Structures are given as C-alpha cells and as structure tokens.
Amino acid sequence: MSRSSPFFYATPRAEVHSLAILHLKRDSLIPLTLAESSDEGYAEGAVANTRFGSFPHKTLIGLDWGSQVRASKVDTGSRGRKGKNKKPEEPATAPAENGSAEEKASKKRKSDGQETELASPTKKRKQEANGDAPAVKPVEAGSGFIHVLPPTPESWTSSLDHRTQVVYTPDYSYILQRLRVRPGGTIIEAGAGSGSFTHAASRAIFNGYPSESKRQKLGKVYSYEYHEPRVETLRREITEHGLDGIVHLTHRDVCNDGFLLDDGSSPKTDAIFLDLPAPWTALQNLTRDGPNSPLNPENPIRLCTFSPCIEQVIATCAALRKLGWADISMVEIQNRRIDVRRERVGLKEEGLRGVNATAANVHEALERLRQDIIPQDRKREQGGVLTKAERLEQIKREAEERKLYKEGRLVHRTEPEVRTHTSYLVFAVLPRAWSEEDERKAEEEFPLGDVMKGSPAKEKVTPTKVDGAAK
C-alpha cells in the first residue's frame, strides 16, 4: 500500500518531512520539504531564504496550516565559517632545503600561534556551533512574513519548477469537467511535462489506494512523456508526493509507439488528454480497431487536445473527423480576476487606508482652506480647533462606528494580464462500438412494442351510445 499523499489527506498541521507551500504573495509560492536539521551550515538548522526574509524550518514545524510566520534573524556568518572548515586540507609541502633558519623559525611561530588560537575557549565555542551542537533558537526579525499552506494541485501548479509550459488551474478544471473525470475512472495523459495536470487528474480520479484485501476498481492516471530527464524528475516527485500507486508514468513517444502498457495490456481508458506538439499524429493509436485497443470498449471515449496555435487545431479536427470522432468543438479559456471594491473619497477619510483623502467637492475644499489660513493665535483664542494629529485620531474613532462596506462608489478593475497559458482546447467524443450482436442483445433485454417498431397498433374500438344510437 502506498503512503498517504498530502494532496489527498492533509495533516492538521505542518510536520517534519512533510511538503509545505510557502505563500509569499498571490503569484509567488515556494514548495518546501520541512526538515529538522540540514548540512547547509546555519546555526538555526535548515533555513528557507525568501525575498521577505529567512525562515528556519523549526519555526514552521508544528504550525496549523494557514498560519502567518514572521521572518527570523539568521546567523549567516556561521554558514560561512562551516564552509571554510569543510574545505579539504591542502597537502603539506616539504620546506625548501635551502631555506634560511629565520624563515623556518617564522613558520614555526605562526604555527604555534594558530594552535594557541584554536585552543582558545571562544574558538571552541564557535566550532561547536558549526558542528554537531544543537541548533540555535531563532530570533524574530523586525519585518517580513509568509503564510504556510498545505499542498494542493492548485498551489503546486503555482509553485512548481516550470520545466515546460504548464496547464494552469482555469484550464485543467474545465478540461476535467468536460472529460467527465470522476473517482474510480481512468484517464490517459500524453505530454506530462512538469506534472501540473498529473496532480490535478490524480485528485479527480482518486477513490482509494491499491490494496490486496480490497478488490475494487480504483482510479488510475496513465501518464506518458517522451523526454527522459523530465520523466525521471516527475517520477521522483510522484514518489515523494505519495502518488506512485495512483499514477503510472511511462517514458515513451506515443505518436509512434502507442498507448499500451509495457506488458502489452490495455489501460482501458475513458478519457484522454493530449498535450502534444502534433496531437493529430497520436490519434491513429486511439482507435477501437485491432485486438488490443487502449480504449474502454464499453463506454464512449472523451478526448481533449491542448494546442497553442490555430493551425494545430485545424489539423487535429481534420484527423478527428476522418477517424470517426463526433461532437467536435473548440474552447479557449481566458480567465481574468476582477477586483471589486468601494471607492471612498473625501476629507473625512484622511488617515485611513485604501481611500482617496482629497476633497470630494468645493465645499470641503473651502472648509479645509479656511482652517489652514487662520493664524495660530486666532486658533488658540477661538478654541475647539483641532490639530492635525487630533483630527486624524478623531477620524479613526468615527470610522469604527461607520459602515464602511456600504459607503463610497462601487467600482471594479479587471486584471491587466492573463496569468494562464492561453491555448485552444479541442473536445471530441468517440461513440461506443455497436455491432449487430449488440443490437440483438439489446432487443432481448429491452423488448419493444409494435408501436415503437413502426407498425400500426391494433386497438379494439368499443362502440358507445349517444341518444340511443350507436356511434
């Protein structure tokens, strides 16, 4: 049985050797495997360095998911000292025979001085800090923070190493819905790349881990990739994430070698996703012809291709029509975030965050101008005129009693850039193969009446009497 995957069953809090996602900001996430110690040389143990500061792993372990973590002050000097101590010693060279006695004495004095320095208590403490001594307790820094999140396919897509162009969340969520991928199903993925779609499909089909005691149909992702270095990297990530019992990764060029498994058996898939440069060349291996087809013979097959160019779409659609695929359609996903907020303008907003603290009209501008041009002595004589600090404090107190969510003008702004890999999605359906034998069995199981067969019904007409006469 495979170990539990954090993408399916997340622990209540961050644990040692568990995968965590460091959320720096909306479009900046970092995957991190938590460890108690490290050989990087930091006195605080394993440390994650980000643009918002340094975060020792010990400050993350044991926290509830979603917790905010402050940056820590890290002793970077200890790392440098350890690096120097780890340098291999150069072989000692024999002193020159013709060297003077003074040079030999000078070298001896330097050697004695080094031994004395190494023997000093201060130096010993530094060496112990760089060696096997317990890690130093981190000290919180003055600024910088992150949030620690559990791994999900969405956060993994935003944080993974882009070895290729990846399929982003807006695309793969729509693809999985159109392909009707569900728990216990089977899907073929050709062009695994960085593994973004692989993780999302694994969650969609997951209904349990393989077990010798349970004999039930389990969901499976059959993933294919032709680039060997990417295959090895993705295979290592699948094992680390506990997906090796769910994902079957194969190194193969499916356009030439097909979709059968290594032992020659069929995956019997219900859904297919092709992220290939020339998907139409792989369609010849996705037919029901032959004794061993990779398709499920009992269900219709749903297919999706992911192509960035319209010329690829044209070639794919032509090949689909030629091979008997139906319900061919094309979709382009353009996901944009919309920022909706209330715009508050006026001098009463002065000192508050996220507002426009300028005069809303001429009356407010004149009132503020009168306050500014009154001489200081007249202000003292009149009394009741607030200073700027007092005015800001009063505005903050009044804001606590106001219903700010109802005030101001409701405005929105569309995201200027599309943070997705915009491509064309081509969908198609291959109907189930239907023979005369299948038709005969269906007629026996579901008998039809004479009316459904097309012959006129023989209904018995009963005469009725109206006013004593038969009608």
CATH number for position 251: 3.40.50.150
**What residue has token string 């330097």?**
110
Q: Indicate whether 302 and 409 sit together in one domain.
A: no
Q: Going by C-beta distance under 8 Å and a sequence separation of 6 or more, which residues neighbour residue 283?
A: 316, 319, 320, 323
Q: Indicate whether 52 and 172 sit together in one domain.
A: no
Q: Find which of 56-60, 108-112, 218-222, 372-376 is predicted with most confidence, using mean pLDDT.
A: 218-222
What pLDDT score does 304 carry?
97
What pLDDT score does 124 carry?
45
Domain of residue 55, CATH code: 3.10.330.20
Q: Indicate whether 302 and 402 sit together in one domain.
A: no
> Among 127-136, 245-254, 278-287, 436-445, where is mean pLDDT lowest?
127-136
Higher per-residue confidence, 204 vs 124: 204
Q: Indicate whether 291 and 266 sit together in one domain.
A: yes
Using the 3D structure, point to which of 369, 386, 414 is the last residue of a domain: 414
Q: Is 93 domain-assigned?
A: no
Asked if 440 and 372 count as a contact pair (C-beta separation under 8 A), the reply is: no
Q: Is 407 domain-assigned?
A: yes
Q: Indicate whether 385 and 289 sit together in one domain.
A: no
Average predicted confidence (pLDDT) for the chain? 79
What pLDDT score does 456 carry?
54
Using the 3D structure, point to which of 365, 381, 414 is the last residue of a domain: 414
SS (H, E, C) 337-380: CEEEEEECECHHHCCCCCCECCCCCHHHHHHHHHHHHCCHHHHH
**CA dist 298 to 184, 226, 288, Å?**
15, 29, 11
Q: Is 351 domain-assigned?
A: yes
Q: What is the pLDDT of residues 411-442, one digit of tens each?
A: 888 877 766 557 899 999 999 888 888 888 88
Residue type at 409? R
Q: Going by C-beta distance under 8 Å and a sequence separation of 6 or more, which residues neighbour residue 342?
A: 404, 405, 407, 408, 409, 410, 411
Q: Going by C-beta distance under 8 Å and a sequence separation of 6 or more, which residues neighbour residue 234?
A: 192, 194, 195, 198, 223, 225, 249
User: What is residue 319's DSSP assignment?
Assistant: H
> Which of helix, strand or coil describes residue 209?
coil
Instruction: Please give the Cα distance from 418 to 100 (Å, whole number).
Output: 75
What pLDDT score does 449 carry?
66
Which among 187, 200, 198 has a CA at the least distance from the CA of 164?
A: 198
pLDDT band for position 201 (cuts 50, 70, 90): very high
CA end-to-end span of the chain, whole Å? 79
Q: Which long-range contacts link 173-179 to residues 24+ away (Cβ below 8 Å)? A: 173/200, 174/331, 174/333, 174/425, 175/273, 175/304, 175/306, 175/425, 176/200, 176/201, 176/204, 178/302, 178/304, 178/331, 178/425, 178/427, 179/271, 179/272, 179/273, 179/302, 179/303, 179/304, 179/427
Per-residue tokens: 215: 């004999």
Asked if 37 and 45 count as a contact pair (C-beta separation under 8 A), the reply is: yes
Asked if 21 and 48 count as a contact pair (C-beta separation under 8 A), the reply is: no
Q: Indicate whether 143 and 205 sit together in one domain.
A: no
363, pLDDT greater than 60? yes
**CA dist 243 to 7, 14, 43, 101, 167, Å?**
9, 19, 35, 70, 19
Q: What is the pLDDT of residues 92-131, one digit of tens each?
A: 444 444 455 555 555 545 454 444 444 444 444 444 444 4
Q: Indicate whether 313 and 214 sit together in one domain.
A: yes
Q: Going by C-beta distance under 8 Å and a sequence separation of 6 or more, which residues neighbour residue 367?
A: 347
Instruction: Please give the Cα distance from 50 to 21 (Å, whole number).
Output: 13
Q: Going by C-beta distance under 8 Å and a sequence separation of 6 or more, which residues neighbour residue 114?
A: none
Asked if 153 and 85 count as a contact pair (C-beta separation under 8 A), the reply is: no
Asked if 50 and 30 count as a contact pair (C-beta separation under 8 A), the reply is: yes
Q: Indicate whether 236 and 217 sit together in one domain.
A: yes
Helix (H), strand (E) counts: the chain? 14, 17
**CA dist 126 to 82, 131, 447, Å?**
10, 9, 90
> Among 29-38, 41-50, 378-387, where is mean pLDDT lowest?
378-387
Q: Is 458 domain-assigned?
A: no
Q: φ and ψ at 282, to 5 degrees?
A: -90, -15
What pLDDT score does 433 carry?
83
Which among 117, 111, 115, 120 has a CA at the least distance from the CA of 92?
A: 111
Q: Indicate whether 374 and 324 sit together in one domain.
A: no
pTM above 0.75? no
Q: Is 53 domain-assigned?
A: yes
Which among 152, 236, 155, 229 has a CA at the least distance from the CA of 193?
A: 229
Q: Indicate whether 236 and 146 sit together in one domain.
A: no
> Among 130-134, 247-251, 335-339, 367-371, where is mean pLDDT lowest?
130-134
Q: Sign (positive/negative) of CA torsion 38, 39, 45, 49? A: negative
Q: Indicate whether 345 and 281 sit together in one domain.
A: no
What pLDDT score does 284 carry?
92
> Among 24-28, 191-195, 303-307, where is mean pLDDT lowest?
24-28
Helices (H), 119-185: 121-130, 153-159, 169-178
156, pLDDT greater than 70? yes
Using the 3D structure, point to which of 414, 444, 464 is the last residue of a domain: 414
**Proportion of the chain above pLDDT 70, given as a percent:** 73
Question: Mean pLDDT over residues 41-53, rounded?
Answer: 83
> Among 265-274, 332-341, 462-471, where is mean pLDDT lowest?
462-471
Q: Is 267 domain-assigned?
A: yes
Domain total in the chain: 3
**What residue has token string 């012809």?**
289
Q: Is 70 domain-assigned?
A: yes
Characterize the bridge pairing of strands 19-25 and 28-33: antiparallel
Q: Indicate whether 327 and 251 sit together in one domain.
A: yes
Instruction: Please give the Cα distance from 366 to 380 (Å, whole number).
Output: 21
Q: φ and ψ at 19, to 5 degrees?
A: -85, 130
What pLDDT score does 89 carry?
44
Question: Mean pLDDT over residues 465-469, rounded?
Answer: 56
Q: Is 94 domain-assigned?
A: no
Instruction: Please give the Cα distance from 291 to 142 (Å, whole number).
Output: 69
Which among 335, 319, 309, 299 has a CA at the least distance from the CA of 430?
A: 299
Q: State which residues form the domain around 14.
A: 1-76+137-151
